[in-house]
Structure 1
Amino acid sequence: MAAVPHGQPVGPTTFQKRTMGAMMGAGVGLTIGFIFGSFTILRGGAGPRGALSTLSQYMLSSAATFSFFLSIGSVIRNDGELPPHWEAARLQFSPMNIHSRSQGISMMKARWDMEKRKEQLQ
C-alpha cells in the first residue's frame, strides 16, 4: 500500500467523483438509449432520417441526461463533512440510546412535568 503524504486527501476529490458519476451515467444512458431506440425503430420504423440516425439520437440524448443527473448526484453525495471512514467510526463508537419501555415512560412523564412547570411560570 502506498504511503499517503500528510495533509493530502485520502479519497477522490469532488471533481473526480463528478467525472466518475458522469462517465457511469453516460454508460447507462447509452445502454438505455440503445434499448429504447431499437425498440422504437422495430415498432414504428426508422423514420425519414434512417435507422442509424434515429438510434444515435436516442442514445446520445439519454446518455447526456443520465450523465448530467448522475454527476450531480455524486457531487451531492460527496457533500458530507467527515470522510466516510471517520463517519463510520463515529457511528460505530457512539453510545446507543436504547431504553426499556419503563425508562421511556418515566422520561416522557418527567418532560411533561417540566413543560407543565414552564407553563405555570409564564
Structure 2
Amino acid sequence: MPPVPQHQHGFEQPSIWQKSEMGAMMGGGVGLTIGFIFGSWSIIRHGSGPRGFMATLSQYMLSSAATFSFFLAIGSVIRSDSPLALRMEAMQLQMAASNPILRSKVQSAHLIRARWAEERAARSNN
C-alpha cells in the first residue's frame, strides 16, 4: 500500500491540534445552544431560584458548553488518529488510478474472486 500523501490539492491538512480546536469550538457552540434551551426551559418551569435569571441561565449554558466542547475535542482527536482513515485515503488513491466507476458488477466480482484466490494461494504457501 503506498504512503498517504501529506499535501493534497495544493493545501496542507489540518494538524491534530487544529482538529481538536475545531471540535472544541463546535462543541462550545452546540453546548451554548443546548444550555440556553434547557436552561430557559428549567427557569420557566421551576423559576430562577435565589441566584436570579441571568446567573442560573449562564450556569446552564457554560456547563453545557464546557462538557460538549471537551467531548467533541476528544472525539475529533480520536477520529483523526484512526488508522482506518489513512487506509481509506490510500484505498481511494488506488481506486482512482484504476477508475472503478467504469467497471461493471461482473468485472468487479471477477476481480474480487481473483483477489480471494491470491489470498488463498498465499496462505497455502505459508
Calculate the TM-score normalised by the size of structure 2: 0.63
Give 1:15-94 correspondences, 5 Å limit: 15-81=17-83, 82=86, 85-90=89-94
CA RMSD of aligned residues (A): 3.0
Deviations 1:38-89 (A, max 9, x none): 0000001000000000000000000000000000000001013428643432
Distance (Å, rounded) in 2 between the aligned partners of 1:51 and 1:87 = 55
Alpha-carbon distance change, 48 to 66 in structure 1, aligned in 2, over 3 angstroms: same
Q: Which amino acid aligns with 1:89?
A: L
> What SS class does the counterpart of residue 75 from structure 1 fall into?
helix
Alpha-carbon distance change, 98 to 25 in structure 1, aligned in 2, over 3 angstroms: farther
Identity of paired residues, percent? 56
Matched, 1:97 2:112: yes
Q: Give the count of matched residue pairs.
A: 95
Q: Which has the higher helix share?
A: 2
Tell me how far 1:23 sits from its aligned partner.
0.3
Distance (Å, rounded) in 1 between the aligned partners of 2:113 and 2:24 = 42
| Structure 1 unpaired stretches of 5+ | 5-9, 100-106, 108-113, 115-122
Alpha-carbon distance change, 91 to 32 in structure 1, aligned in 2, over 3 angstroms: farther
